[in-house]
Amino acid sequence: MTVYRKWYCTCTGQPIELTCEEILDDEPVEPACEFCGATPSSDPKKTIIYRDEEDWDD
Ligand SMILES: [Zn+2]
């Protein structure tokens, strides 16, 4: 079983899934809101939420 953490931003009034930029080099890339730019570690308006989704196919 694998757990995926999906991040959402609620700045538009409904949860919008955050999008990850393409990974360049080997640096971890944080997902960011395409509307307000908030990320899980930079969330001044407290609009970031997440859901853990379980994948039972493993
Ligand atoms: Zn946002």
Note the pLDDT of residue 33.
Answer: 94
Note the pLDDT of residue 22.
Answer: 60
Q: How far is the CA of 26 from the centre of ligand 1 (A)?
A: 26
Note the pLDDT of residue 19.
Answer: 81
pTM: 0.75
Start-to-end C-alpha separation, the chain: 5
pLDDT digits (tens, 9 = 90+) for 11-47: 999 999 998 766 667 777 789 999 999 999 999 999 9
Q: How far is the CA of 53 from the centre of ligand 1 (A)?
A: 21
Residues in a beta bridge with 48: 9
Q: Which two three-digit tokens encode residue 3?
A: 């757990």
Note the pLDDT of residue 24.
Answer: 65
Note the pLDDT of residue 20.
Answer: 73
Question: Three-state SS string across the chain, please?
Answer: CEEEEEEEECCCCCCEECECCCCCCCCCCCCECCCCCCECCECCCCCEEEEEEEECCC
User: How many angstroms separate the CA atoms of 24 and 55, rounded?
Assistant: 27
Q: How far is the CA of 11 from the centre of ligand 1 (A)?
A: 4
